[in-house]
Structure 1
């Protein structure tokens, strides 16, 4: 069964914003280039004696992807004002696109890929080094969903070690919502939770169809009535630096300013979150924690006469 062309979605190009026209033309050119590089033999079709078209014909792509011939022709002529994820998925498979080509196809169509691979949870070596080198300041590597991918030793000392938690719980929203330690030690916890939920909602606007985002949201809604109540307010907030107070059981009050450094502008968008002391007293207490974490050197147990001999 073919996917028919939705007649109500076609308009004259002159009526569309210029940016959309450019995007449609790029999409059309990309599809033509991919179609022309695939031979009939690669997709199990006979070449035939009279073939003049390089690669596949439009009719053959339509047949392989179960898309209407007219609708596919419109896409390649930059006449289709909206191409669904279902059609894009079918065409990508018919044209044997690799992951990079598939991602480019969906980006040109301004559509969310329903079959996008899950993020790799392994952070790069360079990102790990950046986080570790920020000691004695707490720092972590997070993605746009506030999952903590890497944390340095000061982070573990102040907030707890994420490595001791199940992977599903290594998330700032999850911890603010469920962790007794975070509820106790984060003196601005209620304000932080409202702010973080508003930021998550703002960020999720670009990822509403992505499984990882929906799964994280569903888990939070299921585990916390407080989260459900705040989520229903539909508040949004931008990313911005701010100072928060933490009560450490050993060194006392620490005031930290959150600073974000994005490592990549595209998905998966990872950022280093550094927690910078907001005053000299907080800096001294972080340095104290760092000293406590360094094991003392073992005492030299040589007899006294050996000391004299050097």
Structure 2
């Protein structure tokens, strides 16, 4: 692990430890606790590792946990599949190359442009690299300044996203933070990621507060409901795909749900 990744590894362990209650893992609460969550000694006991060793991991010290230790920590902290995968990704991360904004191959760009369905391509930092007319009409990406064409900036800084998602904005925003975190932690020390997170923190109180939770989750398909100013309430299914040309590129496609698209104008 790099120094930055070790820090993220330790922060993640700490965040999961603080989320657990003694009763969650079969321990007696006993004396009143000054801080929420399990104690470090309790996690070490549950994982059957030394307290000193666990403290070094949480402090981001230069230690290398084995696969058996990672498995034990995942069980002790009751990590779900996405959280356990994130823990292992951080543990195995070597020095990454400096982030460079990706470029979309012309063939992929032409495919996206040819689609009638809303579609766009993002990179590792969730920059919006290419979007088609249908995506611009639905999401308003074409109205963003060049430096603002990023999914996280759009969601937390641009007023358009709050209007479009309406009552579902909070749930969708928290879901996006947890998804983005799995990318961010692997590049946490890179200036491009640092600049993005600092801008989000200063521009959105919700982002600053939810970011501290250090939640992670894996990507999945699903549905989104939009309150579009011109086209009314619209429900879409969405799915994402990685590009063979560059696995960092992710194609998102939105498909209207049958019978769930209203043409009435939203007031």
* Shorter-normalised TM range: 0.5 to 0.7
Measured after TM superposition, the shift of residue 230 of structure 1 is 0.5
Structure 1 CA distance for aligned equivalents of residues 111 and 229 of structure 2: 27
Q: Cα–Cα, structure 1 residues 265 and 215, in superposed 2: closer, same or farther, change >3 Å?
A: farther
Q: Which residue of the partner structure matches residue 134 of structure 1? A: 115
Q: Cα–Cα, structure 1 residues 265 and 111, in superposed 2: closer, same or farther, change >3 Å?
A: farther
The count of corresponding residues between Structure 1 and Structure 2 is 173
Select the structure with the greater relative contact order (CA < 8 A; seq sep ≥ 6).
Answer: 2
Asked if 1:112 is matched to 2:91, the reply is: no
Structure 2 CA distance for aligned equivalents of residues 117 and 236 of structure 1: 21
Measured after TM superposition, the shift of residue 205 of structure 1 is 2.6
Q: Which residue of the partner structure matches residue 7 of structure 2? A: none
Asked if 1:181 is matched to 2:160, the reply is: yes
Greater C-alpha Rg: 1
Asked if 1:278 is matched to 2:252, the reply is: no
Q: Which residue of the partner structure matches residue 103 of structure 1? A: none
Q: Cα–Cα, structure 1 residues 118 and 144, in superposed 2: closer, same or farther, change >3 Å?
A: closer
Structure 2 CA distance for aligned equivalents of residues 232 and 265 of structure 1: 34
Structure 1 CA distance for aligned equivalents of residues 124 and 96 of structure 2: 18
Q: 1:158-181 deviations in whole A, cap 9, x for unaligned?
A: 11133x322221111111112222
Q: Which residue of the partner structure matches residue 211 of structure 1? A: 191
Q: Which residue of the partner structure matches residue 228 of structure 1? A: 208
Q: Cα–Cα, structure 1 residues 117 and 145, in superposed 2: closer, same or farther, change >3 Å?
A: closer
SS in 2 for 1:226: helix
Measured after TM superposition, the shift of residue 219 of structure 1 is 1.5
Q: Which 5+ residue runs of structure 1 have no aligned equivalent?
A: 1-80, 83-108, 286-310
Answer yes or no: is the 8 Å Cα contact 1:256–1:277 preserved in 2. yes
Aligned ranges for residues 255-270 of structure 1 at < 5 Å?
Answer: 255-264=235-244, 269-270=248-249
Aligned ranges for residues 81-92 of structure 1 at < 5 Å?
Answer: none
TM-score, length of structure 1 as denominator length: 0.51
TM-score, length of structure 2 as denominator length: 0.59
Structure 2 CA distance for aligned equivalents of residues 219 and 117 of structure 1: 17
Q: Which residue of the partner structure matches residue 227 of structure 2? A: 247
Q: Cα–Cα, structure 1 residues 221 and 117, in superposed 2: closer, same or farther, change >3 Å?
A: closer
Task: State the Cα RMSD in Å.
Answer: 2.4
Answer yes or no: is the 8 Å Cα contact 2:101–2:123 preserved in 1. no
Q: Cα–Cα, structure 1 residues 229 and 212, in superposed 2: closer, same or farther, change >3 Å?
A: same
Q: 1:63-93 deviations in whole A, cap 9, x for unaligned?
A: xxxxxxxxxxxxxxxxxx99xxxxxxxxxxx
Q: Cα–Cα, structure 1 residues 167 and 112, in superposed 2: closer, same or farther, change >3 Å?
A: farther
Measured after TM superposition, the shift of residue 133 of structure 1 is 2.3
Structure 1 CA distance for aligned equivalents of residues 99 and 161 of structure 2: 32
Aligned ranges for residues 155-174 of structure 1 at < 5 Å?
Answer: 155-162=135-142, 164-174=143-153
Q: Cα–Cα, structure 1 residues 110 and 186, in superposed 2: closer, same or farther, change >3 Å?
A: closer
Q: Which residue of the partner structure matches residue 43 of structure 1? A: none
Structure 2 CA distance for aligned equivalents of residues 264 and 214 of structure 1: 28
Measured after TM superposition, the shift of residue 110 of structure 1 is 5.5
Q: Which 5+ residue runs of structure 2 have no aligned equivalent?
A: 1-62, 65-91
Structure 1 CA distance for aligned equivalents of residues 121 and 151 of structure 2: 12
